[in-house]
Structure 1
Amino acid sequence: MANTIDFTNKHFHVNIEILNEEKIVQDINLYQLLKFYAKNWIWIVSITLTSLVLGIIFCNFIQTPMYKSEATLLLVRSNSLASGTSQDTVLINNYIELFKSRRVLDPVIEKQKLNIAYDEMAGLVEASNSKSTEVIKVAVSTTDAEKSKSFLEEAVISFKAQVKQLYKLDNVKVVDSASLASKSYNINKGLTILLSTVAGFLFIIIILFFVYDFRISTKSKKTSDEPTDDGELVVENVDVLIQPDDVLRIPEIKNDTPNNAAVVEPKANPSTYTNTLRARDRLFQASYPRERNIRR
């Protein structure tokens, strides 16, 4: 706990806090902070609504929607195919890579008259196998749902033709034909707008907190540095270390008698005193900068 020494002289008042191994910390008044937020409600509402509008604009006009068309293929075992788990796995992996190869996709790009390079198109094509099955799932994603479906249908036809040409087999069957996507898969409008709104709200709350803290700090500094109207000089939040044997002598401004001095002694037997010479100097400079009488 803090020990306080109050000294009232003829012309000024000194309030020195002596702390026992504690540092003076300026607390944030929660009630005053909430009042500050309420006072600036127009900023909070404006920034939050602006973030909401930006989220809507981003979802509808900036972010590019992608539509995915999917199909399912089945590898049918024929008599000419050797039976064996490892051989089946190798064959399926070969089919997956073949589906994404230039040999399959280049004819489709040319037939669809797409203004896109193979490398870019290959990044939009997916092919995978469900474990322990002979099922191959394929998909194509573009910015247009109809185009995705059309491209996937042509890709499946080209793939089957290449399998027949390379392996002399016709063992690829279509289980599910290319689907038509009803909505984009990469945009969640509700979640995006919600996150944008929350981000804007938190942003303005944090900014206003720093503004409030800055104003409180500036106000406290002015209060501690400036004399009051009735001639009192208030020293607040003093960090001066006063040892138990220290004596602080503060002469009056009107030095009528030679021994006219006031003595302030700290309370006896404290274990530790926190001290700052800075506050003592500030006090003397404000009162009579030419006369100092400090004995340690």
Structure 2
Amino acid sequence: MSKRIRKAVFPVAGLGTRFLPATKAVPKEMLTVVDRPVVQHVVDEAREAGIEHFIFVTGRGKGAIEDHFDMAYELEDTLRRRNKSKEYEALMSDLPAAGATSFTRQQAPLGLGHAVWCARDIIGDEPFAVLLPDMITLPARGKSARCLAEAVAAYEKHGGNIIAVEEVKPEETHQYGIVARGKDYGATFEITGMVEKPPQGTAPSNFIISGRYILEPEIFALLEKHEKGAGGEIQLTDAMIHLAKTRPFHAVRFDGRTYDTGSKLGFLVANVAFGLARPDVAEGLRAELKKMLD
């Protein structure tokens, strides 16, 4: 029987240069989509999928992330004294349990694969999830499960390693990591190959790797070699390609949409999409958008 997925890694050491000057003093992961930091949206998704231990791979200048997931005594006391019970309860419901968060440093920006490797001693010998913090997800209309929950369900069915994927236009495949399709199971399919940013016209499919993974701990022995790939960085995709030679990989098609908040346009679209999904602001936002577009 497959081990349960208990731990998740959040690589949050990036500099956020595409959002300067906003990210000069504020980590990009703390920029808000509606009223929640991007990283909180990703942690919410992990909690909904049953994750119990949240591992943040940080860098210099990221102390605000650690503070965000800690007690804030002065603020909490002020809310209580002013009888702002709704705000206080919302704040406390977001607070992870004592000992449920770990923070480790990636001292140099050596790539996503290196960031995941930095969490090796905290993960230990068990399968784990990886969530890219720039990517936030909303389920399709009428659905409740976000992307990681669907990935966990796929892991419980197939075991091994799971990669969340989504379709893009064929002319866009050179911008992403791409998977090759094998046996189809409906919502999931067997992965028979992977390639990082293939030249235009050479991609084995138009399914891109979209930022949610469930990986077996054997990945760490491959990442430990510190072999550099695209961009001169240690790429997670390269290690997965090697792992796939001996271990099974399956893809899960997420029934919803992923928003890339690492780009300005993606960040703006995410704010609109998440705002329209919020009953408390959706009606007013829809009316304001209509005024702008008329």
Which gives a bigger RCO, structure 1 or 2 (Cα 8 Å, sep 6+)? Answer: 1
Structure with bigger strand share is 2
Rg larger in 1 or in 2? 1
Assess same fold via TM > 0.5.
no
Q: TM-score, normalised by structure 2?
A: 0.21
Structure with bigger helix share is 1
Q: TM-score, normalised by structure 1?
A: 0.20
